[in-house]
Amino acid sequence: MDDCIFCKIAQGRLGSFIFEDDELAAFKDINPAGPVHVLVVPKKHIPGIREVKEDASIIGRMAARAVEIAAEMGISDTGFRLVVNSGPDGGQSVQHLHMHLLGGRPFGWPPG
Ligand code: 5GP
Ligand code: ZN
């Protein structure tokens, strides 16, 4: 989608990657909520987790990739959080599916 910021990033038209393969891209969040804040996105435009439907297995591959990136970034032992916000109450602000990898400090629960 032309007017989607994460499509532009995932297509390599904006910013740089931490990881890229045929299906997924990962890059640093522009407004990090912790020492490590990476976003893992599909290259294909999927508006959010409610729209993955028959592509649901992509969520597993996104999570597995985030776990690998966490290990590469040295936060596997201390721990991390994976988050997919959905819709207004979930706090989703970008309408292109993305998984947050957050780490490098303790995170509270429940979220605000
Ligand atoms: P959401 O609130 O939808 O779960 O998360 C969207 C995330 O995308 C936010 O953490 C926000 O900081 C990040 N973000 C928004 N625009 C950009 C951008 O242009 N580049 C990058 N790297 N991150 C962005
Ligand atoms: Zn998109």
3-state secondary structure labels for all residues of the chain = CCCCHHHHHHCCCCCCCCEECCCEEEEECCCCCCCEEEEEEECCCCCCHHHCHHHCHHHHHHHHHHHHHHHHCCCCCCCEEEECCCHHHHCCCCCCCCEEEEECCCCCCCCC
Q: Are the C-beta atoms of 34 and 102 separated by less than 8 Å?
A: yes
Residue 112: pLDDT over 90? no
pTM, full prediction: 0.97
Q: How many Å apart are CA 42 and CA 70, to the nearest integer? A: 18
Each domain of the chain, given as residue ranges in start order, spans 5-103
Q: Are the C-beta atoms of 83 and 40 separated by less than 8 Å?
A: no
Q: How many Å apart are CA 20 and CA 107, to the nearest integer? A: 27
Whole-number pLDDT of residue 27: 98
Average pLDDT, the chain: 96
Residue 106: pLDDT over 90? yes
Is the distance from the beta carbon of residue 94 to the nearest atom of ligand 1 less than 6 Å?
yes
Q: How many Å apart are CA 66 and CA 101, to the nearest integer? A: 6
**Mutate-to-test residue for ligand 1 from 46, 82, 94, highest number of ligand atoms within 8 A of CB:** 94
Residue 37 Cα to ligand 1 midpoint, Å, equals 10
Is the distance from the beta carbon of residue 79 to the nearest atom of ligand 1 less than 6 Å?
no
In CATH, which superfamily holds the domain spanning 5-103? HIT-like (3.30.428.10)
User: Is 98 a known active-site residue?
Assistant: yes
Structure confidence by residue, pLDDT tens digits, 13-55: 898 999 999 999 999 999 999 999 999 999 999 999 999 999 9
